């Protein structure tokens, strides 16, 4: 599906990626995590052909995104974090742009709008930021593209909308579709994203499924600083100490939440290379 090798990219004289490699397969909802400025949005734009790499190889579904061929563009949907909208009704937008996607389903679009509580007869410019986000999410999913890219999709959504967002994306998945969600709202994506891709210091430091993570890592909570074994990472929560161990330490796991795992990987990336940090 997606194969990136030795990718190099820079803004002016400032290097962002120098030797980034990544492989993503069909049928999963990938969570792309990283600190602000790590290059998440840049990577998404490179994958979708909106930016051009300085060096390296990018193969997206058998296409070089730089060429922006029609056959490639109709296989990909991209919902950015920020966007401008034309002063037309949502229904008119559908009429104009659905034709670019051969597998677009008007019936699905109608259903997604109902689920997300969007009035497609309203002017896009009159919609709130959250309503616009939900409209373009619905359009992206109804396009039935093989690749869907969502950049910070829950920004601007209220709590009920975030819950519905997760249900709608899950219902739209298939073995032939891949979704990439870039987010810093980790808790919004619990129980949705799997595998996890973490980008840090110009490279991918983790690309692993939750099953791989559970098999290789164990988490524990103690009221005092950890003394048993040598934790890969430990943090004081104010109520006690939460620690992460290699499964080889024999620590019975109490479950690993994504935010805690992210903090651990960012703090000690070299400790997690065995979980797919380099490819």
For residue 109, what are its two tokens?
A: 């679009």
C-alpha 79: how far from its chain's center? 11
Average pLDDT, the chain: 92
Domains of the chain, first to last: 25-49+64-195 (3.40.50.300), 210-275 (no CATH)
Token pair 């090798």 in the structure block, residue: 5
Does the pLDDT of residue 279 top 80, yes or no? no
Least confidently predicted of 11-20, 54-63, 134-143, 154-163 = 11-20
Q: What's the pLDDT score for residue 277?
A: 56
Q: What's the pLDDT score for residue 67?
A: 94
For residue 169, what are its two tokens?
A: 């994306």
Q: What's the pLDDT score for residue 33?
A: 96
275 vs 204: CA distance, rounded Å: 11
Does the pLDDT of residue 264 top 80, yes or no? yes
Apex 240 CA angle, 239 and 244, nearest 5:
135
CB atoms within 10 A of CB 38: 21
For residue 234, what are its two tokens?
A: 């430990």
**Burial of 100 (C-beta count, 10 Å sphere; 0-12/13-18/19+):** exposed
Give me the numbers of helices (H) and strands (E) for the chain, helices first please: 8, 12
pLDDT in tens, 41-100: 999 999 999 999 999 999 999 999 999 999 999 999 999 999 899 999 999 999 999 999
Q: What's the pLDDT score for residue 22?
A: 96
Average pLDDT over residues 7-15: 88
Token pair 């164990």 in the structure block, residue: 218
188 vs 90: CA distance, rounded Å: 26
pTM for the structure as a whole: 0.93
Length of the chain: 279
C-alpha 253: how far from its chain's center? 26
Q: Are 77 and 145 in contact (CB under 8 A)?
A: yes
Q: Are 232 and 246 in contact (CB under 8 A)?
A: yes
68 vs 198: CA distance, rounded Å: 27
pLDDT in tens, 153-204: 999 999 999 999 999 999 999 999 999 999 988 888 988 999 999 999 989 9
Does the pLDDT of residue 249 top 70, yes or no? no
Among positive and negative, which fits the CA dihedral 261, 178, 46, 116?
negative
Q: Which residues pair with 207 in a beta bridge?
A: 197
């Amino acid at each position: 599906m997606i194969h990136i090798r030795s990718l190099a990219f820079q803004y002016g004289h400032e290097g962002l990626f120098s030797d980034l490699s990544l492989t993503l397969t069909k049928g999963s909802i990938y969570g792309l995590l990283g600190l602000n400025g790590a290059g998440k949005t840049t990577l998404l734009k490179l994958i979708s052909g909106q930016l051009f790499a300085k060096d390296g190889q990018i193969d997206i579904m058998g296409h070089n995104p730089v060429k922006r061929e029609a056959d490639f563009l109709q296989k990909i949907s991209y919902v950015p974090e920020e966007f401008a909208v034309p002063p037309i009704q949502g229904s008119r937008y559908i009429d104009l742009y659905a034709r670019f996607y051969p597998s677009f389903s008007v019936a699905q679009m109608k259903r997604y709008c109902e689920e997300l509580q969007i009035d497609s007869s309203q002017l896009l410019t009159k919609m709130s930021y959250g309503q616009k986000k939900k409209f373009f999410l619905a359009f992206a999913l109804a396009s039935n593209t093989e690749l869907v890219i969502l950049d910070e999709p829950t920004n601007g959504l209220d709590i009920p909308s975030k819950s519905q967002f997760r249900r709608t994306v899950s219902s739209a998945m298939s073995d032939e579709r891949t979704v990439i969600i870039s987010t810093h709202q980790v808790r919004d994506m619990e129980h949705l994203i799997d595998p996890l891709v973490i980008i840090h210091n110009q490279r991918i430091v983790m690309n692993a499924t939750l099953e791989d993570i559970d098999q290789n890592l164990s988490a524990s909570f103690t009221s005092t600083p950890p003394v048993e074994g040598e934790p890969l990472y430990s943090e004081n929560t104010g109520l006690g100490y939460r620690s992460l161990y290699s499964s080889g330490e024999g620590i019975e796991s109490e479950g690993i939440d994504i935010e805690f795992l992210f903090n651990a990987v960012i703090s000690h990336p070299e400790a997690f290379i065995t979980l797919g940090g380099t490819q």
